[in-house]
Chain A
Amino acid sequence: MRYYIKKIVSLIMVLFLVILLTFLAFQVIPGDGALAKLGVDATEEAIEALRESLGLNKSIPARFVDYFKGILHGDFGISYQYDQPVAELVAARMPATLGLALISILLIVVVSLPLGLLCSKKENGTVDNIITLLTQTLMAVPAFFLGILITLIFGLTLRWFMPGRYVAPAEDFGAFLRYMIFPATAIAVPKIAMLVKFLKTSVIRELKLDYVRTARSKGNTDRAVLWKHVLKNALIPVITFMGMVIADVLAGSIVIEQVFNLPGLGRLLVVAIGNRDYPVVQAIVIYIASVVLIINFIVDLLYQKVDPRIRLQ
């Protein structure tokens, strides 16, 4: 129990720190929201009036308190560019990003686990060499270049999908899935290569341990040893690895959304940076960072659930 409380307290502290650091980082920029919104040509009075109404003439600590209180109520301020609440903008862009992330992660798990186990049967020899070279090569391909290749091959040449023609899930879920499978593949393939390689090393390392010999000597078949004994232990490091992969998938979607013209958070972020729309940038950064931290938190809990040795430390 103490372990859980400690973990939760440290999660909350880090989340607070992320909000504080993000807020402070954007205070360094010369100029402020009022100036950004009205432009340099506006009169001094108009800017001053807007500062007053946005609360920008308060001191930095006072503004942080306002900002933090707002966040607790789900209020991330108003976008300079769209004149809309940031929370609404973010919520509208969520389905594309979330859908992309979920489909990618599903693809990664479904493909890499069986493939990793299959590859772990081949240690050394030609097949192993080919697998290693293949995984290393796929890991070296940036997801956005893979996205461009997929657009070229499956979109423009084979015409399996129309590049840039995104369909919202609420409109037509089937069409949404048919489109999303391509960007999701672009994100998933390098990660699948990584996970296959990782799982293979993990299983091979476990197979060399004494308990495998004991299990065999008790008359277990190879298959039973693998499924009942080895897999349980081999999957422990994979959990941590999956945590990292999920964070990477989110980051990867920032770039992939651009390639496939998806109206997601990444596109919103990139456009907001280009237009110096800082409330939006701040909100998305805080959002993605929080998701990453919460995933790490869940991984930690899962980890000590499957591996009781962690709890002793």
Chain B
Amino acid sequence: MVNDMSFLKKSKKQNKSDNTKNWQLRLGIVLVSVVTLLVVVGLFWTPYEPTAMSAALKNKPPSLTHPLGTDYMGRDVLSRVMDGAGTTFFIGVATVLIGLVLGTLLGAFTGYYGGIVDELLMRLNDTLTSMPSILLALVFVSIIGTGKYNIIIALGVIFIPSFARVVRSEYLVQKEMDYVRNAKLLGAGNLRIMFVHILPNTKSILLSTITIGLNNAILAEAGMSYLSLGVQPPDASLGRMLSEAQGYLLSSPWMALAPGMMIVLTVLGFSLISENLKN
């Protein structure tokens, strides 16, 4: 009887925490959808030409015609945020794709086969993942140069270890499971077991790693472009806009607030999703 009561109580509590998870997940999805919508629309249409300058419209505060104001060259800030977020998103997605594909391959092979190669690679992995990613990215950039595509290569390579680690640990567990033994008995080859049988089971873990990866990529790109070691003009990016805005903080703070808030909302959206998807 007592057990029953406590069970009821627990389930009610559980329910409540499920509800909070739900609204957080929903908020995350709403944020990411809004931001993605802005970026996708920005690919085809922006209220003004993002690079159109106008001497008469310099440093104008937000108004009906320019909802986020104009910058020191009279360019429309909303159009520039849409354009810049597009570049930032493109870099984020491309980076995560590189890390995901190569990291999954590496993690799958090392986790499945094990052995000395696995041991060595994991040591290297541990060292690399303990390093701040911005430091590694700066090393890359100082060797291969700045610009949109070099940033993608740099960050993509840097993200390989974190994906490899997650996938590897999942393969270590999965390869001992009955369904894998079963598949082996039925004569399935190793490659087939790795990519047809085991890979689909790593889906949920990969999904949360992808969202965290996107966030890290967006933050790293913004930081590097802010240091003028990332995206180079004429490409716009949220980080570059912030670094340009810093000289005009007093006269037109909206120039900094708009791209900054765009980063915050994007990162918040993705982290709310990954946080509540995990459970």
Contacts and interface: CB of A to CB of B under 8 A. Distances in A.
B120 to A, nearest CB: 11
A25 B128 CA distance: 14
Contacts of A29: 143
Given A22-B139, A136-B272, A274-B228, A156 B250 contact: yes
Interface string B188-210: 00000000000000000000000
Given A22-B139, A140-B267, A145-B264, A247 B130 contact: yes
Interface stretch (B38-46, B63-71, B91-99, B219-227): B219-227
B106 interface: no
Interface residues of A, number: 48
Given A129-B20, A144-B242, A148-B249, A26 B143 contact: yes
A251 B249 contact: no
A142 interface: yes
B268 A140 contact: yes
Contact of A25 (B24, B135, B139, B222): B139
B130 A132 contact: no
Q: Which residue, of B223, B228, B263, B272, has the highest number of chain A Cβ atoms within 10 A?
A: B223
Q: Which residue, of A25, A144, A247, has the highest number of chain B Cβ atoms within 10 A?
A: A144
B249 A274 contact: no
Contacts, number: 116
Given A136-B272, A139-B271, A273-B138, A149 B226 contact: no
Given A136-B272, A269-B138, A278-B142, A141 B264 contact: yes
Interface string A145-181: 1001101100010000000000000000000000000
Contacts of B133: 251
B245 interface: yes
B118 interface: no
Interface in B5-49: 13, 16-17, 20, 23-24
B55 interface: no
B131 interface: yes
Interface of A: 14, 17-18, 22, 25-26, 28-29, 124-125, 128-129, 132-133, 136-137, 139-142, 144-145, 148-149, 151-152, 156, 247-248, 250-251, 254-255, 258-259, 269-270, 273-274, 276, 278, 281, 285, 288-289, 292-293, 296
Given A124-B16, A148-B256, A293-B127, 7 more contacts: A14-B127, A25-B143, A142-B267, A148-B245, A259-B246, A273-B138, A289-B131
